[in-house]
């Protein structure tokens, strides 16, 4: 018969005489072969997006939420180089991989598949406040948190929704706040509502904000 050696193995041969007594008659070492490695990709989180393999090409195409025709697992030979890339939807952010070897904020994850490996890729819904300043682009759940972290010259973009907070401006910085944006912060489709604003220092330039 056939069997999976899974690597080098020594097979011993025995002979059994008519009385049922076994005695060794020889042995042989076989090189065998390494067992295949299974890669399983699991997308997760409150957002959405896709994970694709660019190496090996088209081995993985996995969507979140899941779609008909998704391929979220593949079997490869041990030692196969793999690169997975995550693409968030227009209303989502990619927040990282479960593999320690992959940098959390990098959308592409290169690694070597040596054994069965599960990988989780996480997407979240874009938070309702976006800050663009000298530190780059960052997202927050509250207007106050966004203002507190904003650098001078920053622009704060707020989604078209109601914020249950009173914004307090108490830094010696100049900040613009633009409200009424859609989920992807592409178009101003309405107004952002909040409870009030207190300006103690600095400068605020506000657009499409309504105080209730």
Question: 114's torsion region: left (phi>0), alpha (psi -120 to 50) or beta?
Answer: alpha
Q: Is the pLDDT of residue 137 over 60?
A: yes
Q: What is the pLDDT of residue 13?
A: 61
Q: With cut-offs at 50, 70 and 90, classify the pLDDT of residue 31.
A: low
pTM for the full predicted model? 0.73
Does 3 score more than 50 pLDDT?
Answer: no
| pLDDT higher than 50, residue 1 | no
Half-sphere CA count of 41, side-chain side, radius 13 A: 30
Are 116 and 83 in contact, with CB atoms under 8 Å apart?
no
Using DSSP, state whether 134 is helix, strand or coil. coil
For residues 18-38, average pLDDT: 69
Q: pLDDT for 78-103, tens place per residue? A: 999 999 999 999 999 999 999 988 87
CA dihedral 107, 108, 114, 118 (to 10 degrees): 30
Question: Please, what sign has the CA dihedral across residues 71, 72, 73, 78?
Answer: positive
Q: How confident is the model at residue 18 (pLDDT cuts 50, 70, 90)?
A: confident
Per residue in 101-130, pLDDT tens? 887 778 999 999 999 999 999 999 999 999
């Amino acid at each position: 018969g056939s069997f999976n050696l899974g690597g080098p193995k020594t097979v011993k041969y025995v002979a059994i005489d008519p009385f049922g007594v076994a005695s060794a008659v020889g042995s042989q070492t076989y090189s065998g072969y390494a067992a295949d490695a299974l890669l399983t990709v699991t997308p997760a989180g409150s957002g959405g997006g896709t994970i694709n393999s660019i190496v090996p090409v088209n081995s993985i195409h996995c969507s979140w939420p899941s779609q008909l025709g998704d391929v979220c697992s593949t079997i490869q030979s041990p030692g196969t180089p793999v690169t997975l890339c995550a693409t968030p939807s227009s209303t989502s952010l990619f927040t990282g991989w479960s593999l320690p070897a992959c940098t959390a904020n990098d959308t592409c994850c290169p690694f070597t598949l040596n054994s069965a490996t599960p990988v989780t890729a996480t997407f979240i819904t874009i938070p309702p406040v976006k800050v663009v300043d000298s530190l780059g682009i960052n997202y927050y759940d509250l207007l106050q948190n966004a203002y507190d972290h904003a650098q001078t010259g920053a622009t704060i973009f707020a989604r078209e929704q109601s914020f249950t907070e009173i914004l307090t401006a108490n830094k010696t910085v100049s900040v613009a706040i633009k409200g009424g944006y859609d989920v992807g912060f592409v178009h101003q489709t309405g107004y952002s509502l909040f409870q009030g604003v207190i300006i103690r220092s600095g400068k605020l330039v506000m657009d499409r904000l309504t105080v209730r």
